[in-house]
Amino acid sequence: MSGIGALLAEAQPTANRWSDAVLVIALAVTVVAAGSVARATAWILASGVTAVLASGLWSLAAVAALAIGIAGAIRGDLPHRRIAGAAIGGLTVQTMLRLDEGRFGASTVAATIAIAVLVGSAWSLARRSTRVRLRIVAFVAMGVALLIAGAFALQVWKSRAVLELAVQRAQEGLAAARAGDNERAAELLGQASRAFDEASGELHSWFARPASVVPVVGQHQRALDLLSAAGANVSAAAADAAWRADIQGLIVHDGQLDLRRVTDMTAPLASLVDALDRAGVAAARAESPWLLPPLAQRLDDFTRSVHDATADANTAAEAVGVLPALLGGDGERRYFVAFATPAESRELGGFTGAFGLLTARDGRLTLSQTGRIQELNEAGRGRRLSDPTQFPARYRAFRLEEFWQNVTGTPDFPTVAEAVRQMWPQSGGGDLDGVLYVDPYALASLLQLTGPVTVGGRPDPLTADNAADFLLRGQYQDFANIDARSDFLLTIARTVFDELTSGDLPGMRTMADALAPDARQRRLLAHSFHPEEQRLFERLGIDGALPPVRGDFLSVGSSNLGQNKIDALLHRTIDYDVVLDPDRGTAAASVTVTLHNTAPSSGLPDYVIGNPGGAPKGTNLTMVAVYTPLRLVDATTTGGQPVNVGASEEYGRRVYTALLAVPPMSELSVTFALEGPLDLRSGYRLDVVPQATANPDRLHVEVRAEDPWRTRGAGTLATNLEADESLVVGLRPD
């Protein structure tokens, strides 16, 4: 019965299921037999150790065994003593086989001690002839095991150089692929595949294979065998993908991308994803608490590499799958483009001053329509949101139906895109397939792809280096007339997009590298109304959605209420101080937003520093919004003066707003005191989402804990807030 129970424990002392069964049955029978004749003190020690380590129902069994042992010690003439001892041995071995495994940890050591106590006690009481026979059996078994282990160690030593070469070539090949040198990547990955194959064959030779039946050695043999085979398969698939799925080789020529080349990449990328998935399964099978640290570390490194490569391969495969339809391979696609400027801020980033309609057919993009945003306001008088319930009340208060320029008045881009989708048909357009958001920094990055452009009326060409500064600041010095300036900006947008959609562009990897910083900074965003394509945008991180609240959260936005372009001269500093109380599961925090207004009171056009509401020129009128899961306690401005605060709930978090008027060439701070519950059982996590402002915010975070708790790891963060930031802090009692 004990042997059957041991089999049900599914212990794996070797890498062979048949030898596992033999060994665990032999162990169970040996411990039961030893327990039946061991001394009562051995019963108590063995069952006591088991009772301390066991959990769940098995802890009850261990306590029962301990009780029997104590009774045996108290009563030297315990009835049915051999049966009681066998029961103690059986309960001990069954419990030990079900302890939580750890890599050479306390559980393993304790189990060995408990079993050794019983066996040692029985050994001391055994007859001399019995001990002699057992010694012979033990020496023979150990000799065979050492011989097998030695043969395996010799084979590993012989294969070591080949394995190291395979790993080196694989790493070099992946590096070459990331650098866009696919020809060299394919060559190196092919060499890696052949080297892994050679190592796998050697490790699977006839005199290395018996190692699978030796405890501990078997796990190492299986791990090396699985990893070398998986390395060969992945390297071969990656080499094939490097030849046949050259992403960098996808080049826009004469304004058109060859969609057939995109489709041809589907099969090799699918093979690569499949090989990586199988490698992940192999790595999971190779895991064992008995692996020595050097091999265990190599296995962990391999698992992480496979995980990262799988994510990249899945992204590439998904992109290749949806790109033809996205670019009009199945019929014309139509995308609304919002050209925005954070010189007049909205919570997503900037005021939408112009728009475009980008059409795609058979891999060719065309900016078929452009216009000033006022044209849409005039074209759709009397329009209504077809489903206003999809939008937060505070967002609807911007009166989107009347003022298209306010469509970027919320930080969640999918919400912005839905508002565009509902209003565009009522403004003279038709159905849309998606929405794009482009600000001056993103437009400047597009010039990295097209090269400089010359726009009539400007003597110097616009380049990737000077375009953002000109669009945010320089234009307001060059144009005193707002209509002339708006027309010039439309000309710039059309010129850049004409260059993009009519000439030759670099490879896809180069394009991605050029535009990735703007996507991270939420300056270039994309939303598709087709679910498969939207999932790709989410995977690429260009969807602009607010992330879910996974602990603490902070995002500070501002909206210009002065109807001017003064925010190019505004700088913000955000200070976030948090005090945690892990005992209560609460946080007390303060958010201080300091606005530094560098605008003068004169010297710039009225549409830059003027205020139609009557505030002095150069005054920055801003509505500051703080997004947080915590509740508001108090809010004050510089000098401790109270401030009126609006409160609402949006996107699963609280939002607090305050209207501030910052005089020219001065600064003003507003502090929000917050508190509320947080799940601190696994530590503290803060996610910070930036607003794509004209000048990146400066962020300072400090996290402390109430006595007797202390933070573990860095509890501070100081950075220019140009992309999403996360801070994870451990907590420990002092």
Among the listed residues 554, 483, 560, the one whose alpha carbon sits nearest the alpha carbon of residue 717: 554
Tokens 């616009």, residue located = 462
| N-to-C CA span, the chain | 49
pLDDT digits (tens, 9 = 90+) for 71-130: 665 655 655 667 766 777 777 776 666 666 544 445 566 667 777 776 777 677 777 777
**Does residue 382 surpass a pLDDT of 70?**
yes
| pLDDT of res. 14 | 63
Q: What is the pTM for the complete model shown? A: 0.81
pLDDT digits (tens, 9 = 90+) for 262-290: 898 888 888 888 887 887 888 787 777 76
Report the C-alpha gap between 400 and 112 in whole angstroms. 72
What's the CA angle centered on 442, arms 439 and 448, to 5 degrees? Answer: 150
- 552-733 topology per CATH: Immunoglobulin-like (2.60.40)
Q: Which residue has the higher pLDDT, 497 or 523?
A: 523
Q: Which residue has the higher pLDDT, 229 or 604?
A: 604
* Amino acid symbol at 543: D
**What's the rounded mean pLDDT across residues 339-349?**
96
Domain boundaries, the chain: 2-126, 160-326, 333-540, 552-733
pLDDT digits (tens, 9 = 90+) for 607-633: 899 998 889 999 999 999 999 999 999
Q: Which residue has the higher pLDDT, 210 or 514?
A: 514
Contact yes or no for 409/346 (Cβ under 8 A): yes
| pLDDT of res. 113 | 73
Among the listed residues 436, 496, 255, 450, the one whose alpha carbon sits nearest the alpha carbon of residue 363: 255
Contact yes or no for 645/659 (Cβ under 8 A): no
pLDDT category of residue 347 using cuts at 50, 70 and 90: very high
Helix/strand/coil (H/E/C) assignment for every residue in 411-441? CCHHHHHHHHHHHHHHHCCCCCCEEEEECHH
pLDDT digits (tens, 9 = 90+) for 681-692: 999 999 999 999
pLDDT digits (tens, 9 = 90+) for 490-517: 888 888 888 888 888 888 888 888 999 9
pLDDT digits (tens, 9 = 90+) for 40-58: 677 677 766 766 666 666 6
| pLDDT of res. 511 | 87
**Does residue 186 surpass a pLDDT of 90?**
no
Task: Transcribe 534-558 into DSSP letters.
Answer: HHHHHHHT-S-PPPPPSSEEEEEEE
For all residues of the chain together, what is the average pLDDT?
A: 84
